[in-house]
Chains A and B, each alone.
Chain A
Amino acid sequence: QVTLKESGPGILQPSQTLSLTCSFSGFSLSTSGMGVGWIRQPSGKGLEWLANIWWDDDKYYNPSLKNRLTISKDTSNNQAFLKITNVDTADTATYYCPRILTGSYFDYWGQGVMVTVSS
């Protein structure tokens, strides 16, 4: 059974660094073709793709966030991570980490974690 769960700080201040963790079970990020993505959704708005990381440590980022994103993984502990530097109120959103199956679509999603950026 595949499960994913996102965790984060809940609230943080502008200019701080947001650190998110995706803890998963039921699959391994060392399996060829597997990946994990990060997606976010401001309240009442649509979905925005942020980044993907693959079994071979290949990484892709959304260029709209310039160089603020860093995605990484800990294969032995079944976790993936996302850092967003220099946050501001526009980064307030629910963040999801879905699994990517065989290099393609998102097949399983976590419940999401709400993050609020506020002074």
Chain B
Amino acid sequence: DIQMTQSPASLSASLEEIVTITCQASQDIGNYLSWYQQKPGKSPQLLIHSATSLADGVPSRFSGSRSGTQYSLKINRLQVEDTGIYYCLQHYSAPWTFGGGTKLELK
């Protein structure tokens, strides 16, 4: 199985700050990586697909990047509504696997 190691597990940041969350894949997964945001009591919402493509309707302050088997989600100018838990997902091969999640809070 492909392991997705997500870091940090939790993060406290200030408004307008730049935030970066990382997922390290245990092997090559190409661009088969997506990012999701989940707010309390809600279902996850797609942010980024194919490692770097912004999903429809997602603010442009969100971006995804890839360096080898390391994938990053960057939030430019953090806003209040960006708090929540973020997950990466590899869908390169079954079993699809999620990262452990990053809880993002406002400082």
Contact = CB atoms under 8 A, between A and B. Distances in A.
Interface of A: 37, 46-49, 52, 60-64, 96, 98, 104-112
B98 A105 contact: no
Interface of B: 1, 32, 34, 36, 43-46, 49-50, 55, 87, 89, 91, 94-101
Contacts, number: 60
B34 A60 contact: no
B101 A105 contact: no
A60 to B, nearest CB: 4
Contact of B96 (A46, A49, A96): A49
- Among B34, B36, B43, B99, max chain A CB count under 10 A is at B43
Query: What are the 3 tightest A-B residue pairs by CB atom distance, in nearest-first order?
Result: A105-B34, A109-B43, A60-B94
A105 B95 CA distance: 13
A67 B43 CA distance: 27
B95 A49 contact: yes
Q: Determine which residue in B44, B50, B97, B99 has the highest number of CB atoms from chain A within 10 A of its CB, and name it.
A: B44
Contacts of B101: 46-47
Given A47-B44, A105-B49, 8 more contacts: A47-B87, A52-B96, A60-B94, A64-B95, A104-B91, A105-B34, A105-B89, A106-B44
- Is chain A's binding surface mostly helix, strand, loop or mixed? mixed
Contacts of A46: 87, 98-101
Contact of B98 (A49, A64, A104): A49
30 contacts: A37-B96, A46-B100, A46-B101, A47-B36, A47-B44, A47-B98, A47-B101, A48-B98, A49-B89, A49-B95, A49-B98, A52-B94, A52-B96, A60-B94, A61-B94, A61-B95, A62-B94, A62-B95, A63-B1, A64-B95, A98-B44, A104-B32, A104-B50, A104-B91, A105-B89, A106-B89, A107-B46, A108-B46, A109-B43, A112-B43
Contacts of A110: 43
Contacts of B43: 96, 98, 109-112
Nearest to B55: A107
Contacts of B97: 49
